[in-house]
């Protein structure tokens, strides 16, 4: 998945500095840095079962269930050279290179084969590449924001599932969700991050005691599948939203 989504990424040209990465990309790189530290300690103690457990857990939860799922919209529908897409590709590049190095001692041939497709590598074989665990800084305030956002996500996902079962929505992108103001405390400015984390089309804050899910406003964009109220605002592209119109224009230009 990671390799397939950096096919047009040149680290020398497209890498985004750490401080300019999106919050989501900084979060996953911070989590990966924790994993690397744990894996190094396990290798030093010859505890290969711990390596397997830690890596499997990270791939199943932080990567597959959260990060890889959330970034699909960025990778597939943002303009090819947009900051958000290049930021995510920067994170994917660092993740896949790090995973190859981390797994090289135990998946000798597979790691080397994957390494062949990593853009910008400076040595041909993974077994000649040095491995120094990442040193990624994520501020305590930003980490606290993510703790709150994930807590809200845990509260909202069951309500989205109930709405699916009640046929109010089909996919989560069909939804508009109202979130209690009190649950976000100081994270009012992170609504876009929360909307992306929940994979819904619209989100708003209310005085309700719990999340409320309804059908999203507007129409479904044929390109990104988000429900938006500006569908048809561009006569030359009557079935897609404003964001997708800009992405298509850049692709053609």
What pLDDT, on the 0 to 100 scale, is given for residue 137? 80
**pTM to 2 decimals?**
0.93
What pLDDT, on the 0 to 100 scale, is given for residue 70? 95
Condensed to tens digits (0 to 9), the pLDDT of residues 88-108 reads 999 999 999 999 999 999 999
Q: Residues 68, 69, 70, 72: what is their CA dihedral angle, to the nearest 10 degrees?
A: 80
E-assigned strand segments in the chain: 175-180, 202-206, 212-215, 219-220, 227-228
Q: 58-62, 201-205, 236-240, 249-253: which has the minimum mean pLDDT?
A: 249-253
What pLDDT, on the 0 to 100 scale, is given for residue 250? 87
Condensed to tens digits (0 to 9), the pLDDT of residues 153-196 reads 999 999 999 999 999 999 999 999 999 888 887 677 889 999 99
| Residue 253 pLDDT exceeds 70 | no
Mean predicted confidence (pLDDT) in 130-148: 87
Residue 135's pLDDT band (boundaries 50, 70, 90)? confident
Give the residue among 111, 103, 97 at the shortest CA–CA distance from 39: 103
Residue 76's pLDDT band (boundaries 50, 70, 90)? very high
Residue 211's pLDDT band (boundaries 50, 70, 90)? very high
Residue 208's pLDDT band (boundaries 50, 70, 90)? confident
């Amino acid at each position: 998945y990671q390799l397939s989504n950096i096919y047009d990424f040149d680290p020398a040209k497209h890498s985004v500095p750490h401080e300019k990465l999106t919050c989501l990309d900084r979060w996953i790189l911070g989590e990966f840095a924790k994993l690397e530290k744990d894996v190094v300690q396990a290798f030093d103690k010859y505890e290969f079962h711990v390596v397997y457990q830690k890596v499997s857990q990270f791939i199943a939860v932080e990567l597959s269930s959260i990060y890889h799922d959330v970034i699909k919209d960025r990778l597939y529908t943002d303009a090819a050279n947009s900051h958000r897409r290049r930021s995510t590709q920067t994170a994917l590049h660092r993740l896949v290179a790090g995973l190859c190095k981390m797994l090289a001692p135990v998946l000798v041939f597979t790691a080397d084969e994957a390494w062949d497709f990593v853009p910008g590598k400076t040595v041909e074989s993974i077994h000649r590449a040095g491995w120094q665990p990442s040193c990624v800084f994520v501020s305590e305030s930003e980490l606290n924001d993510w703790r709150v956002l994930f807590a809200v996500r845990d509260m909202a996902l069951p309500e989205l599932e109930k709405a699916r079962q009640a046929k109010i929505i089909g996919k989560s992108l069909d939804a508009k969700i109202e979130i209690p103001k009190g649950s976000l405390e100081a994270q009012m400015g992170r609504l876009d991050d929360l909307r992306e984390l929940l994979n819904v089309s619209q989100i708003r804050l209310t005085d309700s005691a719990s999340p409320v899910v309804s059908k999203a406003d507007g129409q479904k964009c044929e390109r990104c599948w988000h429900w938006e109220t500006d569908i048809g605002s561009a006569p030359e592209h009557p079935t897609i939203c404003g964001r997708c119109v800009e992405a298509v224009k850049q692709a053609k230009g």
